[in-house]
Chains A and B, each alone.
Chain A
Amino acid sequence: MKDSCSSVSRLLEKYFDQEATDKERSLVEDHLAGCLSCQDTLEWMGDFRDSVKTPVKMAVQKEDFERAWQNIRREIQLQEKSSWWKSIQSWLDLPRFFRKKVWVPAVAVVAIFALLTTQVFFEEASEEASYGALPDVEYVDSSYNVMVYAIEKSKITVIWLFEGQEMEAPSS
């Protein structure tokens, strides 16, 4: 009998779950007719089902599902409102940009370029200053108080009128 019970054990579950075929069902029913142990097991399965089902059924009856729906709707609407901002963010993809640190080499390149160009600029400026300090005097006319000198490199000609003489340069 015991061997028979163990072989029927799985079929008994299928039988209880109404998944057994006709052949399996008649096999189980034949066995049940003469086996108190399997009858107990079947009864236990029924009690077990009730004890799982009843508390869940009771809990459902006590809930306010309309309030839950209001929360769902509010949450969906909130998500929709913030979606325009998210779409801008995703378009710019700023967080990923900063997270991936792809900007580090770019900023480094710009910084190096800026440093170099600043250096070149200052070098040129100092050269110009040195030219300014040592001008080539091309022509001096003391009668009209005029001195003409030129900085060759920058192609600038400066005409300097001295103060202190009352006579003005004739208009030419």
Chain B
Amino acid sequence: MNQDENELISRCQKGDQEALKEIYDRYHDKVYRIAYGMVRHREESLDIVQEVFIKLFRSIGNFKGKSKFYTYLYRMAVNTAIDHSRKMYRVFSSSLDEEGAPQPSEMAEKGPDRILLHKELEEKVKAALDELPPDQRAAILFREVEGLSYREMAESMGCSIGTVMSRLHYGRKKIQESLRKYVKEEGRE
């Protein structure tokens, strides 16, 4: 945590809303990515972002600087997203395909077969991710989307590095298995 961020946090702890705005500008996209990865619903993800930053403003006084600030914020984001996903329980937006699908320009360098494969894989991965327990889903998002190290993940999730590795391993394994099932079913048809 750099000096500038320390100062921002300290100002925010004193109730400075402008400091909160600066923190928001730095981290809103990261919090959104976690939220969207967990709930897969745009409006719900925005609600989570708002809730996280309101909670942060209220509870930032509890942050003592023992851990990195972003891991503190990530933990708050994951917990809020888990609460929301429990409430939503399988509210899976059908508009996801339009929202999340890669644009042709992005995939231009890949062949048409590869594009189709990617699109199909994405759809199946979305469904498989939704089936995972929240802890494993969060571990996969931290690693695959945010690119956190095992240590940072452990700090964000409040567990050991061994637990992080285990969650990642079992999460990936389950997704791989459900995709394998899909491939077999497709083969039969």
Q: Which of these, B49, B126, B150, B172, contacts A55 with CB under 8 Å?
A: B126
Stretch at the interface among B64-72, B75-83, B97-105: B97-105
- Which residues of the other chain, A, contact B121 by a CB distance below 8 angstroms? 47-48, 51
Q: Do residues B42 and A19 form an inter-chain contact, with CB atoms below 8 A?
A: no
A interface, over-half SS: helix
Q: Do residues A55 and B96 form an inter-chain contact, with CB atoms below 8 A?
A: yes
CB distance from B36 to the nearest CB of A (A): 5
- Which residues of the other chain, A, contact B54 by a CB distance below 8 angstroms? 72, 75-76, 79
Q: Do residues B28 and A65 form an inter-chain contact, with CB atoms below 8 A?
A: yes
Judge whether A24 is part of the interface by a CB distance below 8 angstroms: no
Judge whether B84 is part of the interface by a CB distance below 8 angstroms: no
Assembled-state Cα–Cα distance A75/B58 (Å) = 12
Assembled-state Cα–Cα distance A13/B139 (Å) = 13
Categorize the interface residue count of chain A: 20 to 34
- Assuming the contacts A48-B125, A49-B144, A60-B33, asked whether A68 and B172 have C-beta atoms less than 8 A apart, the reply is no
Categorize the interface residue count of chain B: 35 or more
B interface, over-half SS: helix
- Which residues of the other chain, B, contact A60 by a CB distance below 8 angstroms? 29, 32-33, 36
Judge whether A167 is part of the interface by a CB distance below 8 angstroms: no
Judge whether A54 is part of the interface by a CB distance below 8 angstroms: yes
Most buried by B among A44, A51, A52, A76: A51
- Assuming the contacts A68-B49, A75-B50, asked whether A10 and B169 have C-beta atoms less than 8 A apart, the reply is yes
CB distance from A78 to the nearest CB of B (A): 10
Q: Do residues B150 and A47 form an inter-chain contact, with CB atoms below 8 A?
A: no
- Assuming the contacts A51-B122, A53-B144, asked whether A65 and B101 have C-beta atoms less than 8 A apart, the reply is no
B159-186 to A contact mask, C-beta < 8 Å, 1/0: 0000001001100100110000000000
Q: Do residues A54 and B100 form an inter-chain contact, with CB atoms below 8 A?
A: yes
Instruction: List the interface of chain A (C-beta within 8 A of B).
Output: 10, 13-14, 17, 19, 44-45, 47-60, 62-63, 65, 68-69, 71-73, 75-76, 79
Instruction: List the interface of chain B (C-beta within 8 A of A).
Output: 17, 20-21, 24, 28-29, 32-33, 36-37, 42, 45-46, 49-50, 53-54, 57-58, 96, 99-103, 106, 118, 121-122, 125-126, 129, 140-141, 143-145, 149-150, 165, 168-169, 172, 175-176
